């Protein structure tokens, strides 16, 4: 089955491309390389030995997307394309709303025109806002604290309204927790622009000597060691959840939401200590004030994905720390 991956050249898309090929699917990528590069796709081809067609286009561009659908018989779409930096979304919210909403609307219109009925969407645990309690279950209240999060929640609404109105449409909303790690080959991984915002790429760049010290944002949260707790998930496990989601969408109608996390919460210091131990490296750090907008704890109850999708995270924190460093040390400047 041909599967369209919008944003397929990005961090999660490239890993999903590999897992789809391993499972016998034929991925096609549509990406404008806004936050990625062609080299990532070349590396996917190198890992799998399979050539992956790429359409360099803006997924909000109806004519370009329409033409691509005319040239391919897609069985499903995985919609990764989007802008994802929380801080930047507060500075340029209109660009975030325009890009992240328009891409989905265009896709839904073109899918309808071409009779393509299955879509998997990259949502985020950020839609739970400030959680009342953890672990998070899919039915818990939602609400966001930044424009990026709102684009995810609005997209969830748009997609479920579309499936309510069209009995043929299958929508799978995957709420990712915190993806880290890289493919075990060390050939693909996360390649942030400039100074990383997220914890693991910051740690790996300190380990590589590109950054001097890690700042730990707050040690006075109501958590066991006072630092923020998150549900870190290996990107390869996350990629495999998409393979399950495609199969599920193909055999069910309507909208279904799944948390994609491990169910385990680790603190910032747990991650730093595990990284140092697994890789036998020192990560110097300083305790800094809390980062605006951060929450104390966020981790999933992933039971629904375990039961309904037949998916479960298989990799542990050691794998995540080892593979993150393996990617960084072999690619000092990412894909550049
Ligand atoms: P990424 O930036 O590496 O990948 C996104 C890709 O989409 C990039 O290749 C970018 O060039 C492309 N893109 C953006 N706008 C486009 C457009 N209009 N047309 C065509 N291509 C476009 O990000 P990622 O980490 O791989 O995330 C993938 C998806 O998962 C995003 O929707 C993101 O919001 C969501 N998500 C990510 C995380 C995370 O921590 N990485 C967590 C939750 C959800
Ligand atoms: N942290 C530090 N120092 C850093 C970076 C992060 O101490 O330099 C801490 C944060 O305060 C937080 C934890 O590490 O406690 C994780 O922070 P990240 O920035 O790696 O991840 P977030 O949980 O803040 O955000 C991520 C994605 C968002 C997504 C959210 C919920 O980046 O896009 O998960 O899914 F919305």
Contact by Cβ (8 Å): 184, 323 = yes
Query: Is 270 part of any domain?
Result: no
Which pair of tokens denotes residue 27? 């991925």
pLDDT band at 114 (very low <50, low <70, confident <90, very high): very high
Q: Is residue 335 part of a domain?
A: no
Cβ(88) – ligand 2 distance below 6 Å: no
DSSP annotation string for 33-49: -TT--HHHHHHHHHHHS
Measured by CA distance, the residue closest to atom 4 of ligand 1 is: 10
**Contact yes or no for 178/247 (Cβ under 8 A):** no
Residue 123 lies in a domain: yes
Is the C-beta atom of 219 inside 6 A of ligand 2?
Answer: no
Give the model's pLDDT for residue 276: 98
Q: Is the CB of 215 under 6 A from ligand 2?
A: yes
Residue 227 lies in a domain: no
Does ligand 2 have an atom closer than 6 angstroms to the CB of 25? no
pLDDT in tens, 90-112: 999 999 999 999 999 999 999 99
Angle, alpha carbons 306-308-312 (nearest 5°): 20
Q: Which domain holds residue 169?
A: 2-184+232-263
Of the residues 128, 148, 221, 266, which is catalytic? 148
Instruction: Answer yes or no: is 31 within a domain.
Output: yes
Residue 160 · residue 255 · CB < 8 Å: yes
The reply to whether 22 falls in a domain is yes
pTM value? 0.99
Q: Which pLDDT tens digit goes with each residue over 223-282?
A: 999 999 999 999 999 999 999 999 999 999 999 999 999 999 999 999 999 999 999 999
User: The CATH number of the domain where 28 resides is what?
Assistant: 3.40.50.720
Closest CA to 218 of 295, 289, 130, 292: 289
Distance 103 CA to ligand 1 centre (A): 12
Q: Is 216 contained in some domain?
A: no
How many alpha carbons lie under 13 Å from residue 324 in its C-beta half-sphere?
Answer: 33
Domain count, the chain: 1
What are the pLDDT digits (tens) for 160-195?
Answer: 999 999 999 999 999 999 999 999 999 999 999 999
Q: Is residue 94 part of a domain?
A: yes
Ligand 1 mean position, distance from CA 237 (Å)? 17
Token look-up 């542990």 returns 316
Would you state the pLDDT for residue 237? Answer: 99
Segment 17-32 shows an average pLDDT of 99
Could you confirm whether 97 is annotated as catalytic? no
């Amino acid at each position: 089955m041909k599967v369209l991956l919008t944003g397929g050249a990005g961090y999660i898309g490239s890993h999903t491309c590999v897992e789809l090929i391993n499972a016998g699917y034929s991925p096609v990528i549509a990406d404008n390389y806004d936050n990625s590069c062609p080299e990532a796709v070349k590396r996917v081809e190198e890992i799998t030995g399979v050539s992956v067609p790429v359409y360099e286009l803006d997924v909000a561009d109806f004519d370009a997307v329409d033409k691509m659908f005319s040239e391919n018989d897609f069985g499903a779409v995985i919609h990764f394309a989007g802008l994802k930096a929380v801080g930047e979304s507060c500075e340029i919210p209109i660009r975030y709303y325009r890009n992240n909403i328009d891409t989905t609307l265009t896709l839904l219109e073109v899918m309808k025109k071409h009779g393509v009925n299955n879509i998997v969407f990259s949502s985020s645990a950020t839609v739970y806002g400030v959680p009342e309690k953890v672990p998070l279950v899919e039915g818990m209240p939602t609400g966001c604290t930044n424009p990026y999060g709102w684009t995810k929640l609005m997209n969830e609404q748009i997609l479920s309204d579309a499936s309510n109105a069209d009995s043929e449409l299958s929508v799978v909303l995957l709420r990712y927790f915190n993806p880290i790690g890289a493919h075990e080959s060390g050939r693909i991984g996360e390649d942030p622009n400039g100074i990383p915002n997220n914890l693991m790429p910051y740690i790996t760049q300190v380990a590589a000597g590109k950054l001097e010290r890690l700042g730990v944002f707050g040690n006075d949260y109501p958590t066991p060691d006072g630092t923020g707790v998150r549900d870190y998930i290996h990107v390869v496990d996350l990629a495999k959840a998409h393979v399950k989601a495609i199969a599920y969408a193909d055999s069910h109608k309507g909208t279904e939401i799944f948390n994609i996390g491990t169910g385990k919460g680790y603190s910032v210091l747990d991650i730093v200590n595990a990284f140092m131990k697994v890789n036998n490296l020192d990560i110097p750090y300083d305790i800094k004030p809390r980062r605006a907008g951060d929450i104390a704890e966020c981790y999933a109850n992933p039971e629904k994905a375990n039961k309904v999708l037949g998916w479960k995270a298989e990799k542990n924190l050691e794998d995540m720390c080892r593979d993150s460093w393996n990617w960084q040390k072999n690619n000092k400047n990412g894909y550049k």
